[in-house]
Amino acid sequence: RKPGVDVLTAQAVDDHSDEYDSRATQWFVVSDIGLSTYTGQDGLNVFARSLGSAKPITGAELTLLARNNEILGTATTDAEGRAVFNPGLTRGEGGMVPAVLMAKQGDNDFVFLDMGRAGFDLSDRGVTGRPAPGALDVYAWTERGIYRVGEDVHVAALARDGAAKAVENLPLTFIFT
């Protein structure tokens, strides 16, 4: 069998129409490649694993396609089954929005992932976390929660960069309203 996308159609026995509108249709792919994607500050992280053994797939050729069918980027998975696409590739607009991630392993296996569909939503399971911080993440606090007019407010802050390393000697301005 050649790798690719297949279609299964079904129609009623007494339906002799050549029109596909009246047929139940399902597109499917038979593959051993399982893809997982995660978007972060470092870009689109893709992990490829064998569905049969759960082992990472080394050397899978990945192609990220835009809505207008233009190739946004290509990558090859490493020994851990991981590849990363530049973060700028996921910020396209209009026809340049990522639409499909394709994975190919040799000449015998192929799979694709629809990038336009919402990811698996875990928010109802209490694992939403917080939004990813920008290039600088600042946490500030006071020694107590309420102050009277005219009292001194003592503030402390912790600033970290994108690698979670402390940023020293950073001039900060606090505006209290």
Kindly state whether residues 112 and 137 are assigned to the same domain. Answer: no
- Given a cut of 90, whether residue 19 has pLDDT beyond it is no
Q: What is the pLDDT of residue 3?
A: 74
pLDDT single digits (tens) 34-48: 999 988 888 999 999
Give the domain CATH number at 51: 2.60.40
Instruction: Tell me whether residue 126 is in a domain.
Output: no
Across 154-163, average pLDDT: 87
Do 162 and 112 share a structural domain?
no
pLDDT tens string 93-137: 999 999 999 999 988 899 999 998 777 776 677 776 677 777 888
Clarify whether residues 168 and 140 are in a common domain: yes
Q: How far is CA 28 from CA 4, 31, 62, 111, in A?
A: 9, 10, 19, 10
- Does residue 51 share a domain with residue 103? yes
Note whether 140 and 109 are same-domain residues.
Answer: no
In this structure, the answer to whether residues 87 and 142 fall within a common structural domain is no
Q: How many Cα atoms within 13 Å fall on the side-chain side of residue 36?
A: 12
Domain count, the chain: 2
Q: Are 48 and 63 in contact (CB under 8 A)?
A: no
Coil/strand/helix, residue 87: helix
- Supply the range of the domain harboring residue 32: 6-116
Given this model, what pLDDT does residue 128 score? 66
Q: How far apart are CA 43 and CA 82, in angstroms?
A: 12
67-93 residue pLDDT tens? 999 999 999 999 999 999 999 998 889
53 occurs within a structural domain: yes
Is residue 128 assigned to a domain? no
Query: Is 163 contained in some domain?
Result: yes
User: 68 and 27 in one domain?
Assistant: yes
